[in-house]
Amino acid sequence: MLKILRSECLKIISSRSFWVILVLAIVLQPLMGLMEIKEIVKIGLDATPATNPELTEAIGPLKYLGFDVTDLGLMPIVVWGAIMGAQEFRNHNLRTTLLSVNNRVKILAGKIGAFSFLTVLIAFFSIYLTVGITHVFLGSKGLNPILLSSATWQHLGLTVINWLLLSLISFGLGFICRTPIIPLVFMIAQMYGMTDKWTWGHYLPVAAGNDLLSVHSFNSIMILLGWLIISITLAYYSFIRLDLGGKY
């Protein structure tokens, strides 16, 4: 199993999409966080809509500064999940993999495990760098950029979990549909507020993820896990019954 995980990790790392995501998450997102905190410092950490009419809401608590920018990295991670889930159905990749490992359960588990491992690494370093740079710029007004605070670490952990679960759901949907288009339409539409139009919208994965980060709701984790179990289970059954003798 370790051999499969290592092989799948190397396959992902050698792909162009991995490096694009890495740059967006590890480089661009922290830079955007730096730009945001510079603007916040200009108007003051205690600014409110009453004192600064250009604000729509008050500046958040110190322990949560920097997390607003993490949505920038979430979208490419979700897109990447759909692409990685669907790409195995191109250029006979699955058939080639089965020639070396004739066990579909191990192959699927290896793909999910490798993708999850790399997603957690990217998510953690991306979010930590973003928050850390924010507090480095704040200097004595901010938290220790290395130690942070217990509340900040908790929120960072929940944000990593949110990135991981949403990307895995996107991965599973991409694997089921064998194209990234359908899961991307489904997931990105939610990110642009489509869930607000329906009373049942909070049961959709992106809305559940937002609730997880805003109110730290246990129910939100259960909703995300439910979507994950459904998508991975359907991916599993579609994979073990798939005839690879044709175009795949």
Rounded-to-integer distance, Cα 189 and Cα 191, Å:
5
The first and second tokens of residue 202, run together, are 């909070």
* Alpha helix (H) residue ranges in 60-103: 71-87, 93-100
Intervals of the chain under pLDDT 70: 91-101, 193-198, 242-248
The half-sphere exposure of 130 on its side-chain side, counting CA atoms within 13 A, is 33
pLDDT of residue 39: 87
Handedness of CA 154, 155, 157, 158 (dihedral sign): positive
Closest CA to 112 of 232, 223, 240: 232
Instruction: Please list, in sequence order, all residues whose beta carbon lies within 8 angstroms of the beta carbon of residue 83, skipping any fewer than 6 positions away.
Output: 17, 174, 180
Rounded-to-integer distance, Cα 173 and Cα 191, Å:
16
pLDDT of residue 212: 92
pLDDT of residue 247: 55
Compute CA 105 distance to the chain's CA centroid, rounded to the nearest angstrom. Answer: 24
CB atoms near residue 71 (< 10 Å): 14
pLDDT of residue 129: 96
Compute CA 83 distance to the chain's CA centroid, rounded to the nearest angstrom. Answer: 13
CA 161 to each of CA 2, 90, 157, 243: distance values in angstroms, whole numbers, following the listed order: 23, 29, 6, 34
Burial level of 107, CB count in 10 A (0-12/13-18/19+)?
buried
Rounded-to-integer distance, Cα 27 and Cα 41, Å:
22
Rounded-to-integer distance, Cα 47 and Cα 50, Å:
8
